[in-house]
Amino acid sequence: MLKRIVVFISLVAFLIGFGLSSNVFAKKYRNYVIATATPGGTYYPVGVAIATLINIKLAKKGITATAITSAGSGENIQLLKNKEADFAILQGLFGSMAYSGKGLYEGKPQRFFYAVTALWPNVEHFSLLKKYVKTGNIMDLKGLHERFSIGKRGSGTEGSGKTILSALGISVGKDIYPVYLGYNASIDAMINGRIVGANTPAGPPVAAITRLFAKMGADKVAVLNFTDEQLEKIDSKYDVWFRYVIKPGTYPGQKKPIYTIAQPNFLAVREGVPQEDVYLIVKTIYENLPFLRNIHKATYYMSLDNAIKGLPVPLAEGAAKYYKEKGLKIPKKLLAK
């Protein structure tokens, strides 16, 4: 109770500091929760950047935001469903599975959320200690029989990792012994020798992977490649993955490109959030992209040209309104019914 009172008082002080009248506070104030993922990846810092931008630009209109940590896409969908979050960053795969009722949501379509904007590619980083690397591609996990972090339980990391490995015939439980850790905890475990590898998908440069290379050296660790044939197998069911090349020098001591794969990340909003607020938030994001780019390099991908590319679910009406005003042609599949 005390914590809630402190938070309430802080919010009031914040609003007063921005010159809001008591009438605005009483009638129009909305503080939106943005669900992200664990620190060490890209979801959290970008979610914080978006929340900060909203607070700076829209507080006078009675709109503020708070970014929270979570286990990632899987938990985020549940948070949206429970109305414990209003916006969430989701993997394209999880959005597709949930909305269509496939995979982890087989026969149970989740139709309570909509897309706001594409964000950046969620790039697969399957890291492995060099002494276990044979070919340098993802099939090095086949028959590994060692402890490997697949991501926190219920996270998008776990879900996408298992989907990818299953498509290639790599068994989680037989070929690798799963450990369920967040990004920073996974890297700590690799550095300390408690596990041999980890699954940490995010937009490069991933803070956790940067720390891994800086601490252990590029001669001791590797991020595994994917062949074109492997990409085709993985993408055959959900059609969300594409080729992504991590350029040399992205990570300390990385001298060669890493031929991996990626899927789109996107910002989602639950039903019930006023569409005029969604419109203002989308407009604010695209009128202030330099602000986001100063916080994280992953957001350099964001532009109106990329705003609706690869979205796996229909757009919220407020978002669609803004994109139409900017001249974007929206496919019928992205128009909410």
User: Are the beta carbons of 247 and 91 closer than 8 angstroms?
Assistant: no
Q: 251-293, pLDDT tens digit by residue?
A: 999 999 999 999 999 999 999 999 999 999 999 999 999 999 9
Distance separating alpha carbons of residues 292 and 57, to the nearest angstrom: 13
pLDDT averaged over every residue in the chain: 91
Distance of CA 116 to CAs 136, 267, 319, Å?
37, 5, 6
With cut-offs at 50, 70 and 90, classify the pLDDT of residue 13. very low
pLDDT at position 93, please? 92
Tell me the pTM.
0.76
Domains identified in the chain and CATH numbers: 2-120+265-334 (3.40.190.10), 123-263 (3.40.190.10)
Distance of CA 260 to CAs 46, 75, 204, Å?
22, 25, 12
Mean pLDDT value across residues 74-100: 95
Mean pLDDT value across residues 237-249: 91
Distance separating alpha carbons of residues 99 and 177, to the nearest angstrom: 30
Lowest mean pLDDT among 2-6, 105-109, 285-289, 326-330: 2-6
pLDDT at position 24, please? 41
pLDDT at 27 over 70: no
**DSSP secondary structure, 238-251, as one string:** T---EEEEEPTTSS
With cut-offs at 50, 70 and 90, classify the pLDDT of residue 104. confident
Q: Which range among 5-9, 42-46, 266-270 has the greatest average pLDDT? A: 266-270
Mean pLDDT value across residues 31-36: 98
Distance separating alpha carbons of residues 42 and 108, to the nearest angstrom: 29
pLDDT at position 336, please? 84
pLDDT at position 214, please? 98
With cut-offs at 50, 70 and 90, classify the pLDDT of residue 203. confident
**For residues 120 and 10, which has the higher predicted lDDT (pLDDT)?**
120
